[in-house]
Structure 1
Amino acid sequence: MVMKKKEKILILSGSFGQGHQQVATAIREAVELRLPDFESIVVDFMAWAHPNVYPISHYVYMKSIQMLPQLYGYLYKKTHDRNAFSLGLNNIMSAGMGKMLKLLQQIRPTVVVSTFPFAAGILSKLKEYGLTNVPLVTVITDHSTHSYWIHPFTNHYIVGSNGVKQELIHLGITGEQITCTGIPIRTKFLQPMSKEALIQKHGLNPCLPTILMMGGGEGLIGEELLNPGTLDTLPFKAQFMILCGHNEKLRRQLESKLHSTKHPIYLFGYIEHVQELMAISDLIVTKPGGVTTSEAIAMELPMILYKPLPGQEQENAQFLTRSGVAVNVKDTAELISSISTFLNNSADVIRMKKNAKILNKKAAAFEAVDIITESMMQQRPFYETELSPMTKWRTNRLLKREGAFYSHI
């Protein structure tokens, strides 16, 4: 008996921040559960297409956020709408059509899902040149939009809120091309959890309030916040769980610095069970990334947003504060005051939890898979054996030109 080959769903991501990868993983998990006859393949496109340049560009990106946030914010704002500058920068960031075409020919997917804007831009250009017709679904991973997400040959956009949908419509995308599912989060956030059992598992004191501190996957929470002098200004004792992400240097520093504080401190590096820590926390202090805040909303966990970076973090913070699920603080004094207010005022906590329940879209990944399935049904992609001689010639020319470029990197 001949086994039928599984159709493939290619999910393109990028590790400039953890959010794009987390959404890609969430969709892959939902595909595996909802569509067992399909094979889902996640590719970090920037790392795959530019293996020599990628480590340098990732380092520069992270350092620019840490050291030059105002410059990052200026560039973000300057390119927010489509203009000559944003188009030029997008063209630079979207180099890699030859590599994208090679990837498509290798995997031969039935549909492509992109959680990374520049990967969507490259594929849109290939479709514009007639080199592929594979359906493209873009998943926007923030609570706001930006010109770098919008490309003319995208078949469908999956967005986190109705506000983002209205922004896209204002920019000329038809309503039929946009579905508001919420930002997809991983399936483990849908599983039932016992707070009492998890408190015991992680060795916490059930009588103390619990505060979770996260700075994103790179551990970007400000070091000025995490010292005994600051934490001990809180007028009562609490226990702090601090996630340092991939920032091992910060974790070691905090181990040394925080041993003298009056509060019990629990330090973590990058972990895969953040849903457990959210389940046992009374509130979270975090940077307002789209995915982390969507996870907190799913867990109905009140949020304090600490010093959002200029750009999408500030736009995310505006959405979350308007929705009544978070407060925004600008410095450590305001943060300590907000923690004290929250933990002494159950009405504020109840109000935020109620708002989170209204906003909650835990099943966003499964709704996204339904949209992806519909996109597959609308058009079947063609591959190399079906290309016309002229298209093959243009393809080879494109690959040679980009191959010459990469050989000098």
Structure 2
Amino acid sequence: MKIPYRGVNAINSREIDKVLILSGTFGEGHQQVANAIHEATQLSLPDVESVVFDFMALGYSYLYPLSQYVYMKGIKKFPRLYGYFFQKTRKVNSFSIKLNAVLSPGMGRTLKLIQEVQPSVVVSTFPFAAGVMSKLKQYGLINIPTVTIITDYTDHSYWIHPLTDQYIVGSNMVRQALNHQGIDDSKISDTGIPIRPKFFQAHDKIELINKFGLDPDLPTILVMGGGYGIIRDGLTTFRALNALPQSIQLIIVCGHNEKLRHQVTEEFKHSKHRIYLTGYIDYIHELMAISDIMITKPGGITTSEAMAMELPMLLYNPLPGQEQDNAQFLVHAGVAMLAENLTDLKTKLLHLLFDPKLLKKMKENTRLFSKKRSTFDALDVIVQMKRQVSIPNFSVTG
């Protein structure tokens, strides 16, 4: 379920407690975590209203469509440059502080939003939103509890701010990394990355196979590239899969990338494999439930959803930066394999297809590392923080 971003005029009553969730649509992951917390709040806290806002649209209201386009094109065309800046700013230094200041606009608009919504706690699933919240507290403009949810299995200076009250992280590895960056352990909650509750539900595999018109006797490979359908090497990746000697069925999710969807349609027109091709959908959990292996870029949310669905992963061509960190965590956990190139991708996929013991072991490992209550445990942390300040201050004090 995609949560609509609401205008402040519709939510300026303080009759019930409110949780303000500041997200960002630069990539799907930040928004998906916001949606997960929103859905969990609706399910378990009827007396609390959660309100989701796109922080980047708020801070860059005029440049937002252009900046989003430039971001998506930039990471696709210049991944090494993105990786360079990621590593250059991983720890807090003079360069990261300057760049963070440029990328954290909208303090005035954020303050106005807080004054109108009047939340009792603010949750940031986007790093620059967390930075602005810390600055507002530093200047004495608010004293609301703030919670930051880190949406990857990594640490980075952009997530870390002096007046953040609580960090929610996906693993003990990230917890230790934050400790090394000077964050007190009492300010870190290792709940797992929050994902939408439907990924924790049981599914009837045979019923879903029939629903999507697939063959229960063929191995099923789910291929995903994130919400924007970005698997670097693009069509070349799918040509390699089409050339596999063993008959399989491929579920290919192209996300918002309609150009890629049309290219893949043409490429697989005469394929010997059974193909199920789709764009952006809201039933990924059903496709994961019927798949044996998932080939994907290692985004924090998609891989957390796969672990919840007990789905082994083959990771391919991660972006330098947080995706490489995610891949390292997942491979070390034994829930994924990493393919270094197209030849390696085909070799490791065939290895998994012909080694049911390995596939079973990876599936068992997902049960060890997936935190089935991650979303609701994260919500418990948020509620506890909400109770710390009984009368929030929404006005300028100086």
Please, what TM-score do these two structures have when normalized by structure 2?
Answer: 0.94
1:79 aligned partner: 89
Is it true that 1:321 corresponds to 2:331 in the alignment? yes
Structure 1 regions of 5+ residues with no counterpart?
Answer: 392-409
Secondary structure at 1:225 match in 2: helix
- Counterparts of 1:100-111 in structure 2, within 5 Å, are 100-111=110-121
Quote how far apart the aligned CAs of 1:257 are.
Answer: 1.6
CA shift in 2, pair 1:232/1:93, >3 Å? closer
2:144 aligned partner: 134
Rounded to whole Å, the distance in 1 between the matches of 2:209 and 2:361 is 24
1:374 aligned partner: 384
| 1:227-247 Cα deviation digits (max 9, x unpaired) | 44x224322100000000000
Quote how far apart the aligned CAs of 1:110 are.
Answer: 0.4
| 1:191-211 Cα deviation digits (max 9, x unpaired) | 220000000001001111000
Is it true that 1:197 corresponds to 2:172 in the alignment? no
Quote how far apart the aligned CAs of 1:264 are.
Answer: 1.2
47-56 vs 148-157, which moves further: 47-56
Is it true that 1:249 corresponds to 2:259 in the alignment? yes
1:407 aligned partner: none
User: Which of 53, 57, 82 in structure 1 is aligned with 2:63?
Assistant: 53
Quote how far apart the aligned CAs of 1:32 are.
Answer: 1.1
Rounded to whole Å, the distance in 2 between the matches of 1:138 and 1:30 is 17
Rounded to whole Å, the distance in 2 between the matches of 1:102 and 1:171 is 32
CA shift in 2, pair 1:149/1:227, >3 Å? closer
- Counterparts of 1:77-226 in structure 2, within 5 Å, are 77-221=87-231, 222-226=233-237
Rounded to whole Å, the distance in 2 between the matches of 1:313 and 1:387 is 40
1:400 aligned partner: none
Is it true that 1:64 corresponds to 2:79 in the alignment? no
User: Which of 300, 307, 316 in structure 2 is aligned with 1:297?
Assistant: 307
Rounded to whole Å, the distance in 1 between the matches of 2:396 and 2:340 is 56
48-57 vs 268-277, which moves further: 48-57
Please, what TM-score do these two structures have when normalized by structure 1?
Answer: 0.92
Rounded to whole Å, the distance in 2 between the matches of 1:351 and 1:19 is 27
Greater Rg over alpha carbons, structure: 1
Q: For the Cα contact (< 8 Å) 1:157–1:179, is it kept in 2?
A: yes
| RMSD of aligned Cα (Å) | 1.3
Rounded to whole Å, the distance in 2 between the matches of 1:48 and 1:249 is 29
2:368 aligned partner: 358
Rounded to whole Å, the distance in 2 between the matches of 1:294 and 1:372 is 20
Quote how far apart the aligned CAs of 1:178 are.
Answer: 0.4
Quote how far apart the aligned CAs of 1:48 are.
Answer: 2.3
Rounded to whole Å, the distance in 2 between the matches of 1:329 and 1:46 is 34
Aligned residues: 385
Rounded to whole Å, the distance in 1 between the matches of 2:14 and 2:31 is 30
Rounded to whole Å, the distance in 2 between the matches of 1:86 and 1:387 is 28
| 1:123-165 Cα deviation digits (max 9, x unpaired) | 1000000000010000000001100000001000000000000
**Would you identify which runs of 4 or more consecutive aligned residues in structure 1 move more than 3 Å?**
224-228, 381-384
Provide the identity percentage.
54
Secondary structure at 1:271 match in 2: coil
Is it true that 1:339 corresponds to 2:349 in the alignment? yes
Secondary structure at 1:260 match in 2: coil
Q: For the Cα contact (< 8 Å) 2:242–2:268, is it kept in 1?
A: no
AA of the residue aligned to 2:183: I
Quote how far apart the aligned CAs of 1:256 are.
Answer: 1.3
User: Which of 244, 247, 270 in structure 2 is aligned with 1:237?
Assistant: 247
1:348 aligned partner: 358
Quote how far apart the aligned CAs of 1:185 are.
Answer: 0.5
AA of the residue aligned to 1:62: M
